[in-house]
Amino acid sequence: MKAWLRHTALLVALLIGGGLLGSVYASKPQGEPAEPQEVAVDGPEVVSQEEAKLDVVGLIFEHIGDSYSWHITTINGHHIEIPLLCIVRSQEGRWYAFSSAKVAHGHTHEGFFINHEGEQWKGKLVAHNSEGELYRPLDLSITKNAAGVMFNSLVVIVIILGVAGWYRRRNYDHTAVPRGFVGAVEMLIVSLVDDVIKPSVGKDYKRYSPYLLTAFFFIFVSNLLGLVPIFPGGANVTGNIAITLVLALATMFAVNVFGNKEYWKEILWPDVPVWMKFPIPLMPVIEIFGIISKPFALTIRLFANIMAGHTVLIALTCLVFITVNMGATMNGVMTVFSVLLSVFMLVLELLVAYIQAYVFTMLSAVFIGLSRKEHHAAHKPTQQHK
């Protein structure tokens, strides 16, 4: 306990000292080389001294949005970024593949350039057609988020196949009990199967558990890697609506394609008075709307939660740079405040990372379970009588 207090006190002292130093350097006259301290605190968000004001909103949107290259940091105005692959199809039907470095910083490659003007297609690859009009080509570029998805997928595969390989190396000897990381992953899987999937899905849960577990681990790993501030983490993968939409559509697919007769009967001819479903199909319309609203809710819930977490984290980090011009004392205090709050938020986001993955899996399992219900009408009255 004492050691813990001492460490905390040391950390706070360092933060105050660092904050004061940073603000002193920041208020130095122009022309001085940027101090490494600023770079070390938060790479991408370094305040270039030429800019009087920091564009916090732009910064946040840059992070939670997508981009064609993976920006790591900027040192002395020099961008360090990993170029990614751009794949586009022009209106003429030709495919082009090129490095994002070729269209960086306003360059044009094969007529394609990143649009920086106007609200439409801002930050996207665009080109001019033969009539000179601006158009958006079919864009299958491996953007930062796409690369993040691939990296996260790889991590998930490595983790799960690693755990499965642990058993394979022991010749599927079921008396072997894993420890450490393998044991932790196994425990997670067992807890999900036993506490979420089995009770929610029902008797043929084994058919669905690979999908639900894949979804859980993909979301969980993506959420966690999204909290890692340096490459290859930090991509706002699960905070992007396209990613959560695909996951939700996968659940919708599993629910509606493998739904049984009972499920479709509940939707098209539910157990309500006849006037509610004929001649005006009031209940069926509501039920059909439910088919759409369920994946919509899944999409928005995950996307909004993760995006909000990232936004708050960046905003808190930016406190340091926003308060630079308010004087050394204010800046020092705010630095301490910012880092402490960031730590708190990161810990909270760790919890959110698990909870959101869990909630997505649980709701998917519940929706699937509803689509596999049997003898609904036969069971309920007996339960009510009791």
Q: How many CA atoms lie within 13 A of 138 on its CB side?
A: 8
Q: Which of 20, 35, 113, 139 binds another protein (CB under 8 A)?
A: 139
Shortest gap between Cβ of 31 and another protein (angstroms)? Answer: 35
Q: Which of 72, 101, 189, 330 binds another protein (CB under 8 A)?
A: 189
Q: With beta carbons less than 8 A apart as the criterion, state whether 81 and 72 touch.
A: yes
Check binding of 145 to another protein (CB under 8 A): yes
Shortest gap between Cβ of 174 and another protein (angstroms)? Answer: 4
In sequence order, the 6+-apart residues with CB closer than 8 A to the CB of 215 are 247, 250, 251, 360, 361, 364
Check binding of 307 to another protein (CB under 8 A): yes
Tell me, what amino acid is at 215?
Answer: A
How many angstroms separate the CA atoms of 18 and 15, rounded? Answer: 5
Shortest gap between Cβ of 164 and another protein (angstroms)? Answer: 4
Ranges within 193-222 binding another protein (CB under 8 A): 193, 206, 209-211, 213-214, 217-218
Closest CA relative to residue 197, chosen from 211, 187, 217, 184: 211
Shortest gap between Cβ of 193 and another protein (angstroms)? Answer: 6
How many angstroms separate the CA atoms of 77 and 148, rounded? Answer: 25
Check binding of 292 to another protein (CB under 8 A): no
Closest CA relative to residue 147, chosen from 213, 48, 68: 68
Check binding of 241 to another protein (CB under 8 A): yes
Check binding of 172 to another protein (CB under 8 A): yes
Residue 29: asked if its preceding bond is cis (omega within 30°), the reply is no
Check binding of 240 to another protein (CB under 8 A): yes
Check binding of 184 to another protein (CB under 8 A): no
How many angstroms separate the CA atoms of 229 and 235, rounded? Answer: 9
Check binding of 64 to another protein (CB under 8 A): yes
Q: Which of 20, 75, 250, 330 binds another protein (CB under 8 A)?
A: 250
Tell me, what amino acid is at 134?
Answer: L
Check binding of 114 to another protein (CB under 8 A): no
Closest CA relative to residue 129, chosen from 86, 85, 93: 93
Backbone angles phi and psi of 260, in degrees to 5: -95, -175
Check binding of 169 to another protein (CB under 8 A): no
Nearer to another protein, 139 or 287 (CB): 139
Shortest gap between Cβ of 64 and another protein (angstroms)? Answer: 7
Ranges within 72-101 binding another protein (CB under 8 A): 87
Virtual torsion, Cα 360, 366, 372, 373, nearest 10 deg: -170
Binding site for another protein (CB under 8 A): 61, 64-67, 87, 122-124, 138-143, 145-146, 149-150, 153, 156-157, 160-161, 163-164, 167-168, 172, 174-175, 177, 185-186, 189-190, 193, 206, 209-211, 213-214, 217-218, 240-243, 245-247, 250, 307
